[in-house]
């Protein structure tokens, strides 16, 4: 099988689908992460909304801060699983293109 050029790969439907799916996953996750991450310093600096007790002496600021660790782990797990799907798509494209 003849190996195809990068231009041919770039214009293939499978490659366009791969890029589209990656964008549909990565962009919303990045926006969510940044909003969630920067919400804590903004809310604690400019409002007192998180200063109220959540559980005994623990305020909502501490709950939110802990939730950021959980959110980071969840996003890492989701990305790892999605990356495996992207890798399979790349393997298919490579086979189709003769690489």
Give pLDDT, residue 57: 94
Q: What is the pLDDT along the chain (99 residues), one digit of tens a residue?
A: 456 677 888 888 999 999 999 999 999 999 999 999 999 999 999 999 999 999 999 999 999 999 999 999 999 999 999 999 999 999 998 888 876
Residue with tokens 């409002």: 47
Tokens 């050029």 appear where? 5
- Give the pLDDT confidence score for residue 37 in this predicted structure: 95
Give residue 87's pLDDT: 96
**pLDDT reported for residue 66:** 97
15, containing H or E segment:
helix 13-46
Separation between Cα atoms, residue 60 and residue 53, nearest integer Å: 6
Closest CA to 1 of 97, 89, 90: 97
């Amino acid at each position: 099988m003849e190996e195809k050029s990068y231009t041919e790969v770039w214009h293939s439907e499978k490659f366009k689908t791969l890029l589209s799916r990656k964008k549909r996953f990565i962009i919303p996750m990045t926006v969510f992460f940044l909003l969630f991450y920067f919400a804590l310093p903004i809310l604690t600096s400019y409002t007192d909304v998180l200063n109220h007790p959540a559980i005994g002496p623990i305020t909502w600021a501490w709950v939110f801060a802990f939730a950021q660790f959980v959110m980071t782990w969840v996003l890492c797990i989701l990305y790892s699983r999605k990356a495996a799907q992207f890798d399979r798509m790349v393997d298919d494209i490579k086979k189709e293109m003769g690489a």
